[in-house]
């Protein structure tokens, strides 16, 4: 085995070679020494024992990885909606002979990890191409992998051990690197092979498959600048879902929300959640923000209608009244989330007046010039120009790749330009 120290495995092999112990320790009498040796090599992933404390020096995948296919088989993931094209593209890339490593590129929250989970569900269910059958999709925990690697070369040793385990699986393991930029930017100590060069070496040998995920900004910063690394990947763009797609996603997830929060959710509440989040909440992912608003539904109903909890250790009369109420009077409590509840939640979280959220857009636009005239006097031409630009932007009558308008207000002190 080429080890420098004696381990438990050597003692096990010694017992197996002695007939006095073989029958007592091993249940299978047909177990040969070759079978036992192959099992030990599989556990070690062909690594040697080179120090007196070999425990934890192998099985790095088990320590730093999560088997997504196993979690999918146990129903731990939600059904992935409206990402069929991205998942199919990942499958086709993985079956290529060269450049067979997909990299998912998209802004935070668009569903890059969900695509990997959806692929794991298909692999677990056998609904994939024949070359992907019986494979495992394992996600590496980047935080645990980097944590504690304070000495030079510690991180590279962990990553190299993981890659060796993947190579030893003969193509049965596909790695998922979430936030790949956290890997390629660490470990650049002088005198040691960093993660970037280690990955390029493995990619050059073509001995393993990976799926990576990152944002466009980080991809350009850490990967695109290295042509030798960049040419190993095939891009899969993950765009933010549209309003219609987000409504469809929430509609598919409604049963889960209803079961979790124990409330009814109307179609109007789903539409209102998406439209208002897109209109009034800036700088966030639409689907993620809509789901966040859905998580507030339970609190909205509790604040508005209250909750009913069974009494404990109460007199029999009070308990009987409570039982009757739960049986006949519970239906009187409205447990339904409507558009009004969503509007109220958004008003509290954004500090926008409830009356402004409840008014339609065309009503606000019609009164915009009147409102500005009441606040700013003597600037009719300027107000009309600003209002016209806003109206054009609302109806899409402008180039989306350009700013709506640029104004330079030139006036003396107290000229109402701030108003």
Is residue 128 located within the same domain as residue 150? yes
CA distance 253 to 250: 5
CA distance 12 to 40: 10
- Say which residue, 90 or 296, is predicted with more confidence: 90
- Say which residue, 108 or 367, is predicted with more confidence: 108
Q: What is the pLDDT of residues 119-156, one digit of tens each?
A: 999 998 888 888 888 899 999 887 788 777 777 677 77
The phi and psi torsions of 138 (rounded to 5 degrees) equal -115, 125
- In the predicted model, is pLDDT for residue 244 greater than 70? yes
| Per-residue pLDDT, 323 | 63
Is residue 133 located within the same domain as residue 261? no
CA distance 79 to 255: 12
Question: Of the candidates 220, 237, 254, which is a domain's last residue?
Answer: 237
Question: Of the candidates 42, 58, 74, which is a domain's last residue?
Answer: 58
Start-to-end C-alpha separation, the chain: 81
The overall average pLDDT reported for the chain is 74
CA distance 215 to 35: 46
Q: Is 209 in contact with 101 (CB distance < 8 Å)?
A: yes
Q: Which helix (H) or strand (E) holds 9?
A: helix 8-17
Q: What is the pLDDT of residues 26-45, one digit of tens each?
A: 777 677 777 777 776 666 65
Nearest of 199, 131, 142 to residue 166 by alpha carbon:
199
| Per-residue pLDDT, 45 | 54
Instruction: Compute the residue count for the chain.
Output: 419
Percent of the chain with pLDDT over 70: 64
Sole residue written with tokens 């009498």: 29
| Per-residue pLDDT, 385 | 83
Is residue 371 located within the same domain as residue 383? yes
Quick one: tokens of 100? 């067979």
CATH number at residue 271: 1.10.8.60
The dihedral through the CA atoms of 40, 43, 45, 51 has a sign that is negative
Quick one: tokens of 82? 């409206």
pTM above 0.75, yes or no: no
Q: What is the pLDDT of residues 50-99, one digit of tens each?
A: 555 455 555 778 888 899 999 999 888 888 887 889 999 999 999 888 88
Is residue 252 located within the same domain as residue 277? yes
Distance from CA of residue 230 to its chain's centroid?
Answer: 23
Is residue 114 located within the same domain as residue 194? yes
Is residue 71 located within the same domain as residue 209? yes
Nearest of 336, 349, 333 to residue 290 by alpha carbon:
349
Is residue 71 located within the same domain as residue 211? yes
Q: What is the pLDDT of residues 315-371, one digit of tens each?
A: 555 556 556 555 554 444 556 777 777 777 777 776 666 555 555 555 566 677 777
Q: Is 212 in contact with 105 (CB distance < 8 Å)?
A: no
Nearest of 121, 134, 132 to residue 95 by alpha carbon:
132
- In the predicted model, is pLDDT for residue 297 greater than 90? no
Q: What is the pLDDT of residues 254-281, one digit of tens each?
A: 887 777 777 788 888 888 888 777 777 6
| Per-residue pLDDT, 241 | 82
Is residue 231 located within the same domain as residue 250? no
- Say which residue, 365 or 180, is predicted with more confidence: 180
- Domain extent, residue 281, equals 246-357
Is residue 231 located within the same domain as residue 300? no
Q: Is 363 in contact with 374 (CB distance < 8 Å)?
A: no
In eight-state DSSP terms, residue 240 is P
| Per-residue pLDDT, 206 | 66
CA distance 57 to 75: 32
Is residue 50 located within the same domain as residue 69? no
Radius of gyration of the chain (CA): 30
| Per-residue pLDDT, 189 | 47
Is residue 337 located within the same domain as residue 222? no
CATH number at residue 114: 3.40.50.300
Nearest of 7, 14, 78 to residue 48 by alpha carbon:
7
Sole residue written with tokens 């009244």: 321
What is the per-residue burial (b if ≥16 Cβ within 10 Å, else e) of 228-251? ebeebbbebebeebeeebbbbbbe
Is residue 269 located within the same domain as residue 302? yes
Question: Of the candidates 193, 218, 237, which is a domain's last residue?
Answer: 237
Quick one: tokens of 298? 């339970």
Count the domains in the chain. 4
Please state the rounded mean pLDDT for residues 201-207: 72
CA distance 124 to 137: 9
């Amino acid at each position: 085995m080429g080890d420098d120290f004696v381990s438990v495995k050597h003692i096990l092999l010694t017992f197996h070679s002695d007939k006095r112990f073989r029958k007592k320790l091993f249940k299978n009498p047909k177990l040969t020494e070759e079978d036992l040796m192959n099992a030990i090599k599989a556990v070690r992933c062909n690594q040697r024992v080179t120090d007196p404390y070999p425990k934890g020096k192998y099985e790095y995948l088990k320590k730093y990885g999560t088997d997504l296919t196993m979690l999918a088989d146990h129903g731990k993931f939600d059904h992935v909606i409206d990402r069929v094209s991205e998942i199919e593209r990942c499958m086709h890339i993985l079956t290529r002979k060269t450049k067979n490593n997909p990299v998912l590129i998209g802004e935070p929250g668009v569903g890059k990890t969900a695509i990997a989970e959806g692929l794991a569900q298909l692999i677990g269910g056998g609904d994939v191409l024949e070359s992907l059958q019986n494979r495992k999709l394992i996600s590496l925990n980047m935080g645990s992998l980097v944590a504690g690697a304070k000495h030079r070369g510690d991180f590279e040793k962990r990553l190299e051990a993981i890659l060796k385990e993947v190579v030893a699986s003969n193509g049965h393991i596909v790695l998922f690197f979430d936030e790949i930029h956290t890997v390629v930017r660490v470990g650049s100590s002088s005198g040691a092979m960093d993660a970037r060069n280690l990955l390029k070496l493995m990619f050059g040998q073509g001995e393993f498959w990976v799926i990576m995920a990152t944002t466009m900004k980080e991809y350009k910063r850490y990967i695109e600048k290295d042509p030798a690394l960049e040419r190993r990947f095939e891009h899969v763009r993950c765009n933010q879902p549209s309003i219609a797609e987000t409504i469809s996603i929430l509609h598919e997830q409604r049963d889960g929300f209803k079961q979790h929060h124990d409330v009814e959710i109307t179609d109007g509440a789903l539409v209102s959640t998406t439209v208002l989040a897109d209109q009034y909440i800036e700088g966030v992912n639409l689907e993620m923000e809509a789901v966040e608003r859905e998580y507030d539904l339970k609190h909205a109903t509790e604040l508005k209608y209250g909750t009913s909890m069974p009494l404990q250790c109460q007199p029999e009369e009070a308990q009987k009244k409570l039982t009757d109420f739960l049986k006949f009077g519970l239906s009187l409590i409205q447990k339904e989330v409507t558009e009004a509840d969503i509007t109220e939640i958004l008003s509290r979280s954004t500090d926008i007046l409830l009356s402004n959220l409840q008014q339609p857009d065309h009503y606000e636009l019609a009164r915009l010039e009147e409102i500005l005239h009441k606040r700013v006097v003597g600037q009719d031409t300027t107000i009309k120009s600003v209002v016209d630009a806003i109206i054009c932007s609302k109806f899409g009558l402008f180039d989306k790749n350009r700013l709506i308008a640029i104004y330079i207000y030139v006036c003396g002190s107290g000229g109402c330009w701030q108003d």
